[in-house]
Amino acid sequence: MTEARILVVEDEESYRDSLNFLLRREGFEVMLAETGPQGVAAFARDGADVVLLDLMLPGMSGTEVFHAIRERSDVPILMVTAKDDQVDKIIGLELGADDYVTKPYSGRELVARIRAVLRRHATGLEGIPDEPERLTVAGMTLDPERLTLTRDGESESVPPKEFALLFLLAQNAGRVLPRQVIIDRVWGADYFGDTKTLDVHIKRIRSRIEAVPAEPVIIQTVRGVGYTLEP
């Protein structure tokens, strides 16, 4: 019995073939796409539990594929970037990818990362209690059941990871939360990715709640430590 369906969008045949063998051996169901349009079509047709997406694709770029899939689903997406290419890593994180791996990668590491994002996705919002209640702080009302943020009488939906992060900070309003504590609570202790993803999510949240995101008042950075939400 397969444990999860993985969509691999990879233009290099050697990587595609090795991934197909590796992931099937680990018990995953695998769908392969050679181009961006094929990947988008496959996801629209059959869905997936995880998408393994090469950032550097010919024609339709990995970034475009990412956005096309994100319009349909919040499925976990792991970006595959060039070896030691910091720009590609940053692009992947800015997009909001759940994790990334760099070529060449080890099969063991890749499988571990896939299982980690599946666990995080399955458990949902690690930063939110099992029996969530609405929380009002700093002029905001957060509804964990609907993943909505209400300010000045207007509500908006917030992506799960952003909501979990904001909710955690709101729960601890007035306290400074160290970066590693936040990552462990929101992304899970088994998170393998770059801690820069925390800063990217903070930036997105600030764009939602701060009058001037570049001069934040509600979510403060405590240099060398972490973040705090001012009540």
CATH number of 135-229: 1.10.10.10
Question: What pLDDT, on a 0 to 100 scale, did the predictor assign at position 47?
Answer: 87
Average pLDDT, the chain: 84
Burial class from Cβ neighbours inside 10 Å (0-12, 13-18, 19+) for residue 104 reads exposed
Question: What pLDDT, on a 0 to 100 scale, did the predictor assign at position 118?
Answer: 82
Whether the domain at 5-123 and the domain at 135-229 fall into the same CATH topology: no
Highest mean pLDDT among 11-25, 95-109, 117-131: 11-25
Question: What pLDDT, on a 0 to 100 scale, did the predictor assign at position 23?
Answer: 93
Checking if the pLDDT of 18 tops 90, the result is yes
Contacts of range 27-34, beta carbons closer than 8 Å, 24 or more positions apart: 27/1, 27/2, 27/3, 28/2, 28/3, 28/4, 28/114, 29/2, 29/4, 29/5, 30/5, 30/6, 31/5, 31/6, 31/7, 32/8, 33/7, 33/8, 33/9, 34/10
Question: What pLDDT, on a 0 to 100 scale, did the predictor assign at position 129?
Answer: 46
**Overall pTM surpassing 0.85 (yes/no):** no
Mean pLDDT of 189-197: 68
pLDDT, tens only, 112-161? 888 888 877 765 544 444 445 788 999 999 988 788 999 988 999 888 88
Question: What pLDDT, on a 0 to 100 scale, did the predictor assign at position 205?
Answer: 94
CATH superfamily of this structure's domain 5-123 = Response regulator (3.40.50.2300)
